[in-house]
């Protein structure tokens, strides 16, 4: 079994692509995406994004838990699942003529990581 320090590093390395995705898609659309996001950082919808993603990640972590994956692998998968739902919602909003909010994605990612780490036994 790997040392706790090594497991933390592996879990962090697995979380890096999700953090990258949070900023890659808006950046590919142009830097104006960041400037045009007029929503409040602490608006009501950010709390909804955070807690919704946290709940989805926690449920996903419990659902994905099996003897075949380590706790940290389960946490990484549930973060990906939850963040994918948030990213899909932002693309849906954009298709409906609403702005693509990078601040919503940051709240989604923070909530997903919080929910997954609270519900899993990943050190």
Asked if 10 and 2 count as a contact pair (C-beta separation under 8 A), the reply is: yes
Per-residue exposure over 107-119, b if at least 16 CB sit within 10 Å of its own CB, e if not: bbbbbbbbbbbeb
Q: Is the pLDDT of residue 11 over 80?
A: no
Q: Is the pLDDT of residue 20 over 80?
A: no
Whole-angstrom distance, CA of residue 82 vs CA of residue 21: 13
Model pLDDT for residues 30-75, shown as the tens digit of each residue: 544 555 667 777 888 889 999 999 999 999 888 887 778 788 888 8
Q: Where are the domains of the chain?
A: 41-123
Whole-angstrom distance, CA of residue 27 vs CA of residue 30: 5
| DSSP code, position 31 | T
pLDDT the model gives residue 53: 94
Q: For the purposes of burial, counting CB atoms within 10 Å of the CB of 101, is it exposed (0-12), middle (13-18) or buried (19 or more)?
A: buried
Please give the average per-residue pLDDT across 113-119, as a whole number.
89
Give pTM, 2 decimals. Answer: 0.70
Q: Is the pLDDT of residue 108 over 90?
A: yes
pLDDT the model gives residue 76: 87
| DSSP code, position 120 | S
């Amino acid at each position: 079994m790997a040392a706790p320090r090594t497991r933390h590093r592996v879990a962090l390395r697995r979380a890096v692509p999700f953090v990258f995705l949070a900023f890659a898609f808006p950046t590919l659309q142009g830097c104006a995406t960041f400037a045009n996001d007029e929503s409040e950082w602490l608006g009501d919808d950010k709390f909804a994004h955070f807690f919704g993603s946290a709940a989805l990640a926690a449920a996903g972590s419990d659902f994905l838990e099996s003897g075949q994956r380590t706790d940290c692998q389960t946490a990484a998968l549930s973060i990906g699942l939850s963040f994918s739902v948030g990213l899909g919602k932002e693309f849906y909003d954009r298709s409906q003529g609403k702005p693509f909010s990078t601040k919503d994605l940051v709240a989604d990612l923070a909530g997903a990581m919080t929910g997954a780490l609270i519900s899993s036994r990943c050190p």
